[in-house]
Amino acid sequence: MTQAPVQTPRLFRATDPRTGAFVGPEFAVTTPEELDAAVAAAARAFPRFAAFPPEARARFLRRAAEELRADEEEVVAVAAAETALPEARLRSELARTTGQLEMFAALVEGREWLDARVDKGDPERKPAPKPDVRSLRRGLGPVAVFGASNFPLAFSVAGGDTASALAAGCPVVAKAHPSHPGTSAAAAAAVLRAAAATGMPEGVFAVVYDDGIEVGEALVRHPGVKAVGFTGSRGGGEALVRLAAARPEPIPVYAEMGSVNPVFVLPGATAARPKDVAEGLHASFTLGVGQFCTNPGVVFVPQDRGGDELTERLVKLTNGTPAGAMLNARVCQAYKRGLEELERAGARRLAGGATGEGPNDGVAALWEVALEDLAAARELLGEVFGPSTLLVRYGEPDELPAVAAALEGQLTATVHGEPFELEPGGIADALFQVLVDRAGRLIVNQFPTGVEVGPAMVHGGPYPATSDGRSTSVGTRAIERFTRYVAFQNFPEALLPPALREG
Amino acid sequence: MTQAPVQTPRLFRATDPRTGAFVGPEFAVTTPEELDAAVAAAARAFPRFAAFPPEARARFLRRAAEELRADEEEVVAVAAAETALPEARLRSELARTTGQLEMFAALVEGREWLDARVDKGDPERKPAPKPDVRSLRRGLGPVAVFGASNFPLAFSVAGGDTASALAAGCPVVAKAHPSHPGTSAAAAAAVLRAAAATGMPEGVFAVVYDDGIEVGEALVRHPGVKAVGFTGSRGGGEALVRLAAARPEPIPVYAEMGSVNPVFVLPGATAARPKDVAEGLHASFTLGVGQFCTNPGVVFVPQDRGGDELTERLVKLTNGTPAGAMLNARVCQAYKRGLEELERAGARRLAGGATGEGPNDGVAALWEVALEDLAAARELLGEVFGPSTLLVRYGEPDELPAVAAALEGQLTATVHGEPFELEPGGIADALFQVLVDRAGRLIVNQFPTGVEVGPAMVHGGPYPATSDGRSTSVGTRAIERFTRYVAFQNFPEALLPPALREG
């Protein structure tokens, strides 16, 4: 056998989005051999990891949270340099990340997520004896997790997908987002230290790097990978779905691809509290330079005095919004193109924030269009990822349910109204009867940004908000995505999984 | 506008597989306009149907069971003529079908399937107030159900997929299997009478007909359809998966595509009870002329005296097996091709049943191959749908886990062993540690045919046994496949779904 030629690894570096300058060390793009070794190790680790008692997996997750917290200063500093997100935001995102790890630790210890069922046999049953059948959830196998650009911690290497997959007993191979490799490396180091400290099998967790798409594609194609978690753009998510479907053994892809998160402001709300609604909206669509999947991108506002007041207030707030560095040059360029497309599609620019000095600054933008012009320009309902929102001015609330019925799948849909509008049989009721089949989360008189992490949260939604609208990527229910059911028929007690035994 | 030309509908008839003669009336292939009307009506029915209290849906399902029972004589007679299945089998399949409808009726009344969760808000929480978030399962929308040829009642128009979809609040458009249109029409009539009698919305259920694939394809492509249930061949299932994935809005397809259901007979079992195992295997692989998805198609048998005894007994039983009419000419032709392929791939024919007089008779067949010859002829592990099984003779049980690891996804995997082989750390344990990730149901000392319908059953399995190995098509858990989660944030009590209210 001849040895393969030694290749110089391709190197890349992160960029500080505020300056465009390189920051941090060079990272080597993971080679095909390294990727293969990582997935092979994950596949070898899977049976042992899945067989560990829940308490052992819980210890691992809790320790990962501790290790992350121990590195807080370093992680926050690196993430701030790589993403331009403010320190306070990164600290709270780190707390959310550790909270998620701990939430899943408690969940696996509780065992309810297993949905263990025992249906005892009856050899005397007529006409045929009844077999003893027991079943529970089991992890699918190694999971590929794609880090999101906009949540460098909570939806990245040690984020929600990783926490829920590990909790389910699935090893994880995480693909670092190319714009924050240093943050990814720091988070991965914390998880790997936790794995070693708690005696997890070699290969239970790995991180791979790329500044392009080859490594991610190879990961999704790899026969050892059994499911994919992704948060990002529609183009990226759909590409992974296609790759996964074309495998000899297709695998599930959970791609969260974003949405415009429509907000319907009813006339009662604009009459009673136009400024409050305007301020809430402004805070929501400009939060984090508008870089949230739940950013309210389309707001239906009545053509009345209250609607005008709301609009005036929004104009003022938007005009006074400072520019902010976006996550990376690609996000910033896409945002600028999105604004151009809104204009080309007929949206009228009502207000714009201050322009910045930085090469990747996102400038807030407020747009308006009349409802009757929307039907001819459906591209106005496409997601513009950044601090922009489009006001759609409508005449009568009765027009809204038909508008809602024409919407694509959304992560969220929100209605603002006064109590008289929120009665059964009222306009909000009519709207929600349509929206319930078009969004993963329905909201009354609050705003879609700020996703509560808990047992009841649904962060998902019909296509194209996600590629698999049956599930959620946030909250305890997320563990279900990386599991399947297995039944055990007529098993001797000693060979049953512990959760299915009599004891 | 000019009127579309009136086309003569394409007609087809069922064939009695025992004689090849036409049987029953002519059926018209559903036209594109009729199909569109059926799906449009289902889409209109969905919000109303989903909003009905669980008790109303339960009444509908129970009434459907009653109506089917009332028509038992007619249904059994028509099904016997169209499928050649024996009357006793059809009566028990009808009982299973009505039992499934009643099981799902009880399930929806119980409400636990909704997984309703209430996570109350806390306006005082720091740093941010906690919103009130509640969530539950909700039906996906209209479901297309493809009837299976081999279960004209229990997996067909009024079968398990229909029962679970209706229970979840999803209207159903059922595609009748072309080989039993009369049975389908009779079952559909019962469901439609039940829908009318219990006040269900127009369009909650419909049946469509075709003797080809156009109607089924159009159904899966129709934008009003939100999920697909299918039981049939791998080719058919994969075609539907591809169609569904290529839609502008992709939808889930639950295709149960069958498997070889490996049985591992350990040396202890062949030594202790070779004849019992042989008789059980023979009954299982020839049951219903071998036309079950759970038919044991590959049996690993030791090359020892017990293994020889088991084989001898199987040879004798197989040689004495009468031929039986298969479900239709296509199934029979495919079976014959499958046998030819086994022979071409190197299997040695050990025994064959009596040949029949009928044009579509399936003749039992027993084959043998040495384990060492299997690796070079993987096609021996392809499903042969019919009364055939392949004995794979192995030397040492230690060889089996590696063989199991190379298997594709299976509906079931079975081990026969004596207590000393079923100890933790023993050979069965080692096998199951591999098989648990390759099959939906693991079985000890029983046989895979005969799928118990209950709360713990898993009738599913990793690809290619099914197109979505996360779920089951049998048992109460099947309802989950036609649902998604929806969250309600900060909702006034009166607008919440009843299951999420305080009361």
Per-residue DSSP letter, B424: T
User: What secondary structure letter does DSSP report for B176?
Assistant: -
Mutation site, B256, B433, B495, interface A, largest A CB count within 10 A: B495
Is B436 in Cβ contact with A486 (below 8 Å)? yes
- Distance in Å from the first CA to the final CA of chain B: 56
The pair of three-digit structure tokens given for residue A388, joined into one six-digit string: 């922009």
Other Cβ atoms less than 10 A from the Cβ of A8: the count is 6
pLDDT at B310 over 50: yes
Which tokens in the block code for residue B31? 């036209």
Question: What are A221-234's pLDDT values in tens digits?
Answer: 999 999 999 999 99
Q: How far is CA B158 from the centre of its chain?
A: 13
pLDDT at B164 over 90: yes
* DSSP state, residue B287: G
pLDDT per residue as tens digits for the range B202-223: 999 999 999 999 999 999 999 9
Enter the DSSP assignment of A380.
G
Q: Which of A60-74, A170-184, B367-381 has the lowest mean pLDDT?
A: B367-381
Yes or no: say if B499 and B111 are a contact pair by the CB < 8 Å rule: yes
- On chain A, the residues whose CB falls within 8 A of the CB of B464 are 249
CA atoms of A436 and A379, how far apart (whole Å): 23
Q: What is the pLDDT at residue A4? A: 55
Give the pLDDT of residue A306.
Answer: 97
Q: Quote the pLDDT of residue B130.
A: 98
Q: Nearest by CB to A489, from B443, B455, B469: name it.
A: B443
* Closest CA relative to residue B168, chosen from B486, B459, B381, B460: B486
Distance CA B285, CA B318 (A): 10
Whether chain B has a CB inside 8 Å of the CB on A472: the answer is: yes
Chain B residues inside the 8 Å CB shell of A444: 489-492, 495
Tell me the C-alpha distance between A414 and A439, whole Å. 10
Confidence of residue A1 (pLDDT cuts 50, 70, 90): very low
d(CA A110, CA A87): 35
| Phi–psi pair at B473, nearest 5 degrees | -100, -5
What is the 3-class SS of A247-310, one letter each residue? CCCCCCEEEECCCCCCEEECHHHHHHCHHHHHHHHHHHHHHHHHCCCCCCCEEEEECCHHHHHH
User: Among residues A293, A368, A383, A421, which one is catalytic?
Assistant: A293
By CA distance, what is B487's nearest residue in A?
A: A441
User: A483 in helix, strand or coil?
Assistant: strand
Residue of B nearest to A244 (CA): B245
**pLDDT above 90 (res B503):** no
Q: Which residue has the higher pLDDT, A378 or A199?
A: A199
B422, B452, B455 member nearest A131 (Cβ)? B452
pLDDT at A167 over 60: yes
Q: Mean pLDDT, to the nearest integer, of A470-493?
A: 98
Angle, helices B214-221 vs B234-245, to 10°: value is 40
Beta strand ranges found along B4-76 (DSSP E): 11-15, 22-28
Collapsing DSSP to helix, strand or coil, A471 comes out as coil
**Bridge partners for A439 per DSSP:** A410
Q: Where do the H-state alpha helices sit in A345-390?
A: 371-374
Task: Give Cβ neighbours of residue B298 (< 8 Å, ≥ 6 apart).
Answer: B260, B261, B262, B263, B380, B381, B389, B390, B392
**Alpha helix positions (H), B299-426:** 305-319, 329-344, 371-374, 400-405
Q: How far apart are CA B503 and CA B498, in angstroms?
A: 8
| Cα–Cα distance measured from residue B324 to residue B307, given in angstroms and rounded to the nearest whole number | 28
Tell me the sheet residues that pair with B377: none
**What pLDDT sits at residue A224?**
98
In this structure, what token pair is assigned to residue B392?
């794979």
Residue A375 pLDDT: 85
Closest CA to B159 of B254, B241, B235, B77: B254
Q: In A, residues 173-202, which contact B (CB 8 Å cutoff)? A: none
pLDDT at B51 over 80: yes
Q: How far apart are CA A451 and CA A458, in angstroms?
A: 9
Rounded mean pLDDT of A422-437? 98
What is the SS3 assignment for B144? strand
CA A324 – CA A330 distance, rounded (Å): 15
Pick A443's closest partner by Cβ from B432, B471, B489.
B489
SS3 B143: strand
- Other beta carbons within 10 angstroms of residue B486's beta carbon come to 25
Q: B288: helix, coil or strand?
A: helix
Residue B409: CA count within 13 A, CB half-sphere: 25
Per-residue pLDDT, A158:
98
Segment A28-86, tens digit of pLDDT = 999 999 999 999 999 999 999 999 999 999 999 999 999 999 999 999 999 999 999 99
Q: How far is CA A204 from CA A66, A226, B50, B503, in A?
A: 18, 14, 43, 46
CB contact (8 A) between residue B249 and residue A462: yes
Whether the Cβ atoms of residue B326 and residue B291 lie closer than 8 Å to each other: yes
Amino acid B376: pLDDT: 87
Which residue, among A484, A500, A501, would best test binding to B if mutated, counting the most B CBs under 10 Å from its CB? A484
Residues of chain B contacting residue A250, judged by C-beta atoms under 8 Å apart: 241, 463, 467
The shortest C-alpha distance from B362 to chain A (Å) reads 26
Q: Please state, in angstroms and rounded to a whole number, the distance separating the CA atoms of residues B354 and B322.
A: 5
Using CA atoms, how far residue A105 sits from A53, A64, A156, A164, in Å, is 12, 10, 18, 9
Residue B199 pLDDT: 98
> Chain A window 274-333: which residues touch B at a Cβ cutoff of 8 Å?
none
Residue B6 has pLDDT above 70, yes or no: no
Dihedral of CA atoms A84, A89, A91, A94 in degrees, nearest 10, equals: -90
Residues 213-272 of B with CB under 8 A from A: 241, 245, 249-252
pLDDT tens for each residue of B402-448: 999 999 999 999 999 999 999 999 999 999 999 999 999 999 999 99
* The pairing of beta strand B324-325 with beta strand B361-362: antiparallel
Would you say the pTM of this structure is higher than 0.95?
A: yes
**A-B contacts at Cβ under 8 angstroms:** 198
Angle at which helices B54-70 and B181-197 cross, to 10° = 130
Select from B208, B185, B207, B206 the least CA-distant residue to B24.
B185
Buried b (16+ CB within 10 A) or exposed e, B255-277: bbbbbbbbbbbbbbbbbebbeeb
CB B174 within 8 A of CB B145: yes
pLDDT tens track for B277-287: 999 999 999 99
Chain A contact set for B44 (CB, 8 A): none
Residue A432's contacts (CB-CB under 8 Å, 6 or more residues apart) are A415, A442, B495
Hey, are the CB atoms on B436 and A138 less than 8 Å from each other?
yes
CB contact under 8 A, B422 and A462: no
How many whole angstroms separate alpha carbon B362 and alpha carbon B115?
A: 46
Give the B window 98-127 contacts with A, CB below 8 Å: 117-119, 127
Q: Does B140 touch chain A (CB under 8 A)?
A: yes
Separation CA A154–CA A474 (nearest Å): 10
**Two tokens at B273?**
């009870």
Q: Locate the chain B residue with the closest alpha carbon to A415.
A: B491
Strand runs labelled E in B7-106: 11-15, 22-28
The amino acid at residue A268 is: G
Using a CB-CB cut-off of 8 Å, the residues of chain A touching B252 are 468, 470
Closest CA to A286 of A313, A320, A311, A256: A320
pLDDT value at residue A3: 55
pLDDT-above-90 percentage for chain B: 96
What is the rounded radius of gyration, in angstroms, for the C-alpha atoms of chain B?
Answer: 24
B233 contacts B256 by C-beta, under 8 angstroms: no
Closest CA to B482 of B139, B251, B61, B252: B139
Is residue B316 packed enough to be buried (19+ CB in 10 Å), middle (13-18) or exposed (0-12)?
A: middle
Q: Is the sign of the CA dihedral B68, B71, B77, B82 positive or negative?
A: negative
Res A9: pLDDT: 83
**Is the predicted pLDDT of residue B4 greater than 60, yes or no?**
no
Residues of chain B with C-beta less than 8 angstroms from the C-beta of A428: 495
ipTM of this model? 0.97
Select from B162, B168, B186 the least CA-distant residue to B97.
B162
Question: What local confidence, expressed as pLDDT, does residue A6 receive?
Answer: 59
Distance from CA of A344 to the nearest CA of B (A): 24
Could you tell me which chain B residue has the CA closest to the CA of A489?
Answer: B443
Nearest CA in chain A to B470: A484
Q: Under an 8 A CB cutoff, do B433 and A134 touch?
A: no
Provide the annotated active-site residues of B: 256, 293
Say whether residue A40 is in contact with chain B using an 8 A CB cutoff.
no
Burial class (CB in 10 A: 0-12, 13-18, 19+), A91: middle
pLDDT digits (tens, 9 = 90+) for A321-376: 999 999 999 999 999 999 999 999 999 999 999 998 999 999 999 999 999 999 88
Give the closest of A252, A440, A463 to B470, CB-based. Answer: A252
Q: How far is A378 from chain B (nearest CA, A)?
A: 15
Alpha-carbon distances of B357 from A446, B345, B361, rounded to whole Å:
74, 28, 7
Residue B464 contacts A, CB cutoff 8 Å: yes
- Determine, for residues B436 and A495 on separate chains, whether the beta-carbon distance falls below 8 Å: no
Strand partners, B255: B230
Tell me the pLDDT of chain B averaged across its residues.
96
- Nearest CB to A491; choose among B440, B444, B454: B444
